């Protein structure tokens, strides 16, 4: 049976359909334009879902969103970059599509997709860590993606790695995200040089080319990320760390120094392999589709 899937992000809404072949079809991307307000974003999401549904006569839909989500109740508790607070996404979409709807968290859904069809295949215990504008994580433990007692597991970006450091959007200071996210790398380079608008990837290129300030900013990001990952490795003992998000696209310029920095921190631990994610920005959408297929499977089995 075919399902439709939506991955709602702060910049783009990504959609697709998934049939029995396990491949996403009808992949499409729409601008979220969150500045229009939460109701307008909801309307756009509905329109995207309807567009996809017209193409494949779906049996169910899956939708994943960022931020704090309550998977049990189907509510987006807080998605700051969508302007959503306590939005009953699951019920709302199910009513409008007249279909069963699965609802989840974007990063946890991405981990599910990597577990079944990506870099986490055949690995029941791994960490999925997208490093992009922000930093998040999902721990796959004994083949299951951890949700936590309140649906808030995996906030690696808000582990404090530099006490008393830069203020963070969460209200804390010195969180990993304030040093090692793509946004932080760009911001810290701009602060050190006065040059605005240089992206994290460009900082990485400049560091490779011998720019001393870029080198310092990049190294600080790698070291902070290694601190955060070492904490997570101590807690979960993963066999593998799967790195996704925009910064992972820097390839070995990112992974090689990270492996070294991590190696210096691990003592009694068994060092996990550190590998790039396979699914790129399809992970969330594929994960949403898999949640929808799982929902259908649950309904078939009495």
Contact positions with Zn ion (CB under 5 A) in 129-158: 158
Contact call for residue 108 and Zn ion (CB under 5 A): no
Least distance CB 225 / Zn ion (angstroms): 14
Q: Quick one: 177 or 281, whose CB is closer to Zn ion? A: 177
How many CB atoms are closer than 10 A to CB 55?
14
Least distance CB 121 / Zn ion (angstroms): 32
- When binding is defined by CB under 5 A, the residue of 175, 242, 258, 289 that contacts Zn ion is 175
Contact call for residue 256 and Zn ion (CB under 5 A): no
The Cα 74–Cα 71 span in angstroms is: 5
Q: Quick one: 175 or 286, whose CB is closer to Zn ion? A: 175
Q: Quick one: 118 or 134, whose CB is closer to Zn ion? A: 134
Contact call for residue 248 and Zn ion (CB under 5 A): no
Q: Quick one: 158 or 282, whose CB is closer to Zn ion? A: 158
Max Cα–Cα distance, the chain, nearest Å: 63
Least distance CB 210 / Zn ion (angstroms): 32
Least distance CB 8 / Zn ion (angstroms): 22
Window of 118-126, 164-172, 208-216, 244-252 that interacts with Zn ion by CB under 5 A: 164-172
Please tell me the count of residues contacting Zn ion according to CB under 5 A. Answer: 5
Number of H helices and number of E strands within the chain?
10, 13
Tell me if 186 sits within 8 A of 199, measured CB to CB. yes
Contact call for residue 172 and Zn ion (CB under 5 A): yes
Query: If DSSP codes are grouped into helix, strand and coil, which group holds residue 140?
Result: strand
Contact call for residue 168 and Zn ion (CB under 5 A): yes
- When binding is defined by CB under 5 A, the residue of 170, 192, 235, 297 that contacts Zn ion is 170
Query: If DSSP codes are grouped into helix, strand and coil, which group holds residue 78?
Result: strand
Tell me if 73 sits within 8 A of 300, measured CB to CB. no
184: Cα separation from own chain's centroid:
17
Query: Phi and psi at residue 129, in whole multiples of 5°?
Result: -130, 95
DSSP H helices in the chain: 38-56, 89-97, 106-117, 177-180, 182-193, 200-208, 212-236, 245-248, 252-265, 283-300
Q: Quick one: 15 or 174, whose CB is closer to Zn ion? A: 174
Q: Quick one: 108 or 158, whose CB is closer to Zn ion? A: 158
Least distance CB 81 / Zn ion (angstroms): 15
Least distance CB 152 / Zn ion (angstroms): 13
Least distance CB 170 / Zn ion (angstroms): 3
Tell me if 114 sits within 8 A of 283, measured CB to CB. yes
Q: Quick one: 48 or 232, whose CB is closer to Zn ion? A: 232
> To which residue do tokens 């991590």 refer?
262
232-245 burial by CB neighbour count: b if 16+ within 10 A, else e?
bbeebebbbbbbbb
Site residues, Zn ion (CB under 5 A): 158, 168, 170, 172, 175
């Amino acid at each position: 049976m075919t399902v439709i899937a939506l991955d709602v992000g702060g910049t783009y809404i990504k959609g697709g359909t998934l049939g029995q072949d396990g491949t996403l079809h009808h992949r499409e991307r729409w601008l979220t334009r969150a500045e229009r307000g939460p109701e307008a974003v909801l309307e756009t999401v509905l329109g995207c879902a309807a567009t996809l549904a017209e193409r494949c006569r779906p049996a169910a839909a899956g939708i994943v969103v960022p931020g704090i989500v309550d998977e049990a109740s189907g509510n987006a508790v807080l998605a700051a970059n969508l302007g959503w607070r306590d939005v009953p996404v699951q019920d709302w979409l199910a009513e409008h599509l007249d279909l069963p709807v699965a609802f989840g968290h974007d990063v946890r859904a991405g981990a599910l997709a990597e577990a079944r069809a990506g870099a986490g295949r055949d690995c029941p215990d791994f960490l999925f860590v997208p490093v992009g504008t922000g930093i998040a994580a999902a721990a796959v433990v004994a083949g299951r993606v951890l949700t936590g007692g309140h649906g808030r597991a995996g906030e690696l970006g808000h582990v404090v790695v530099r006490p008393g450091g830069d203020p963070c959007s969460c209200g804390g200071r010195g969180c990993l995200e304030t040093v090692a996210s793509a946004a932080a790398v760009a911001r810290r380079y701009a602060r050190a040089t006065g040059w605005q608008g240089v992206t994290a990837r460009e900082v990485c290129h400049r560091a490779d080319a011998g720019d001393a300030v870029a080198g310092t900013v990049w190294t600080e990001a790698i070291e902070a990320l290694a601190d955060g990952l070492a904490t997570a490795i101590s807690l979960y003992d993963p066999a593998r760390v799967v790195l996704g998000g925009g910064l992972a696209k820097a390839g070995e310029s990112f992974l090689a120094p990270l492996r070294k920095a991590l190696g210096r921190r691990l003592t009694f631990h068994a060092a996990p392999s550190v590998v790039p994610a396979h699914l790129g920005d399809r992970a969330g959408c594929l994960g949403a589709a898999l949640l929808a297929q799982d929902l259908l499977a649950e309904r078939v089995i009495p």
